Structure 1
């Protein structure tokens, strides 16, 4: 290390200690301070780690958490960023707080924002990249899906020897010829047919000839076993695959991977993809299927990902939503609940959420009035937008309460007529709600650390 990097590291670690000791937080500020002093600090902090970069639109945080659990079955020193602070300053903070590794070369499993991949690979050469999916998300930051993917592969280009572990069911991940070794994962669990994706689905044009892709089967959105009837472009051979689906509930999912039975304590078909990605990373690092099954069986909730909070007897399930595809998967998941429940929608539009709220009109909120939901609440900084969206979806006015202030939302939840309450919230709304609940003693301070 240079004298500059030594000083930057000292300043960053000191600020981290102060913020976490006295203010109970600080996942990005220490990184900001450190990079201000030494913009190249990541080169020094990450040079002794085997790094796994996990990126994509949806599923990064849960995939990261599951991957850490899986690798801990074999490797004692795993560094990660569990708070979801996935931009450059948050990643720097992650390295700053790392204890000194003992024994084997440590592994860092890092959730990385799509646009920040290149900011990592400029200084660190990862051992592996994990691509979860790419959907339309935060148009003001990322643009269309092909622009987002280009941001990722611009970063990957700086690490051509790293192995890519990619969702093979996503056509976009098979659209470019990359020099990296590639492992594909996906689903292989349904009888085959010849179908097309639903109208207005993104990413269904063949990258070779621009013909509309067909599918042998679809899991959701544009994911599945795709093929082009015009030029022969098709899904690559999968190294690891979900071969059977078992019981699916709002709180658990059973399935087989490569014929091995697995179960995760979280609902939703989309979360099985996250588990499959973590399984694939585990196998890449030599973790056995039986060890992965044991890792998945741990019932540890992840910040904002179906986190269940006891609010004076109400079981409040907090779920992050941020784009139409993810939202629709969450709506499908809560629709499997056999008991009546109440629904709370909290919408913010800050930079971290995406300032454009038009995406809520692509969500299938019309499903809600058909479910056994006796009470609805809408709130957040953009409460007028989400309130009007539910009104258009057909939610009855006599069941619908409008509560702009989050502090009042917490009190209103306590009065809802059902024991179970689903709260669907955008990123900064999740942060704000969790802080309120932490201040009132319902949850511990922090974000899943």
Structure 2
């Protein structure tokens, strides 16, 4: 398919704006795509015509899963196009293609993180070869509603092309609840599975998605993920093609585990990140990368911005972690509670569109467990909604005299630098994370951009 006059104009102006923004203004991850789409709303169809596209979507883990898949596929492909900034809506994905030089002959491969509500419009233009589904939890309910609504938004894109393969988290009940026309491969945890218990009552997706009775589990990992079954209608976890067979060690900084009996290591902590690695492993195998090559790709230590990104703040080691919903927040809290030494804890809360304007999700966070663990030696709150998170921590049991409030990020940084703890964990919502990184970049602590 040749470029139309409109697509050629949109591409030329989009690439010029990308060059200008990155040459003189330190970046721009969505504006070039926004400009190009205004000129030609179908420009992405033309830009992506010579690519096999893998879409990564779901509530949590999209950015790291995408990054890991890119590392894995580079064992087979010389170049892999991706959107590393996390700008995952239509305009950001268009920018990712504009940033690439024009392809010559032959097909390329693209691994794209895609916002759940943007799967359908992206799929309509790019005709993906594969969809990777990580999980679905309550998130930004002002945008998505309940998670069944979110799943339907994803399915609207997936089912457009029945030939596209689906690589889905088999431990998430919702992903096997509906028969798809697509070929489906499932991944999950195959650990000790001889129990019969229920998830806590306030867990997302506690009901069977087929008959609405309470789900039971032989084994759970976290939230509603695990080896589930319904004693009422017989709905159960599907057979897994790729599985975690053993978790050998987890710390706040690293994880060691076995996938299909292949030893793997990633320099990032948390059970939820083992799921991300498992998804990347499943994609790699589907595209012909060997287990040994995948393990080697995982061993390459490169943090994704804002996802357990370690920043040297003077003599302090600051670990910056994105949080945006209760499930992800609780996984992060569980992870940092495994630290062997006391640490400084901070949380920055914003409520902009990209964060989700409803901050009530913080009340589902297990801050009480953090306080009870006595691992946090100091507490700091900041961001535009610092009063909200300050109140939440006070209710969780943080003494008023131990809680420091710093609305301004400059004050947050200076306070962290004076901390008595060498290890600092800073949890932040999306726009707060970007704002903090900008301040740290201006101060010379990190490089500009992503």
CA distance in 1, matches of 2:194, 2:448: 48
Is 1:416 paired with 2:419?
A: yes
- State the 1:101 CA deviation: 4.1
Native 8 Å contact 1:321 1:425 kept in 2: yes
Is 1:225 paired with 2:222?
A: no
1:444 corresponds in structure 2 to 447
- State the 1:191 CA deviation: 3.7
Is 1:196 paired with 2:198?
A: yes
CA distance in 2, matches of 1:142, 1:369: 32
- State the 1:440 CA deviation: 0.8
Divergent runs of 4+, >6 A = none
- State the 1:124 CA deviation: 1.2
Native 8 Å contact 1:86 1:113 kept in 2: yes
SS in 2 for 1:277: helix
Is 1:401 paired with 2:399?
A: no
Native 8 Å contact 2:70 2:80 kept in 1: yes
2:363 corresponds in structure 1 to 361
CA distance in 2, matches of 1:251, 1:366: 23
Native 8 Å contact 2:257 2:263 kept in 1: yes
Distance 1:129 1:5, change over 3 A: same
CA distance in 1, matches of 2:85, 2:402: 35
CA distance in 2, matches of 1:197, 1:293: 32
CA distance in 1, matches of 2:332, 2:104: 41
1:151 corresponds in structure 2 to 153
CA distance in 2, matches of 1:360, 1:294: 37
1:282 corresponds in structure 2 to 284
SS in 2 for 1:374: strand
- State the 1:256 CA deviation: 0.2
CA distance in 2, matches of 1:268, 1:277: 15
Match of 1:111 among 103, 110, 113: 113
Is 1:391 paired with 2:394?
A: yes
- State the 1:418 CA deviation: 0.3
1:235 corresponds in structure 2 to 237
2:54 corresponds in structure 1 to 52
Alignment of 1:291-302 (within 5 A): 291-302=293-304
Match of 2:345 among 343, 346, 368: 343
SS in 1 for 2:310: strand
Deviations 1:14-65 (A, max 9, x none): 0000000000110000000000000010110011000000000000000000
Deviations 1:90-132 (A, max 9, x none): 0000000113446752110000000000111111110100000
Name stretches of at least 5 consecutive residues in structure 1 with no aligned partner. none
Native 8 Å contact 2:213 2:230 kept in 1: yes
CA distance in 2, matches of 1:209, 1:17: 54
CA distance in 1, matches of 2:354, 2:194: 40
Please report the TM-score for the alignment, with normalisation by the length of structure 2.
0.98
SS in 1 for 2:217: strand
- The CA RMSD measured in Å over matched residues stands at 0.9
2:188 corresponds in structure 1 to 186
Native 8 Å contact 2:88 2:113 kept in 1: yes
2:69 corresponds in structure 1 to 67
Please report the TM-score for the alignment, with normalisation by the length of structure 1.
0.98
- State the 1:323 CA deviation: 0.1
CA distance in 2, matches of 1:102, 1:122: 24
Is 1:247 paired with 2:249?
A: yes
CA distance in 2, matches of 1:46, 1:243: 37
Is 1:35 paired with 2:37?
A: yes
Deviations 1:234-257 (A, max 9, x none): 100000000001110000000000
2:377 corresponds in structure 1 to 374
Native 8 Å contact 1:186 1:241 kept in 2: yes
Native 8 Å contact 1:171 1:204 kept in 2: no
1:262 corresponds in structure 2 to 264
SS in 2 for 1:274: helix
SS in 2 for 1:14: helix
Native 8 Å contact 1:77 1:101 kept in 2: no
- State the 1:77 CA deviation: 1.5
CA distance in 2, matches of 1:192, 1:240: 20
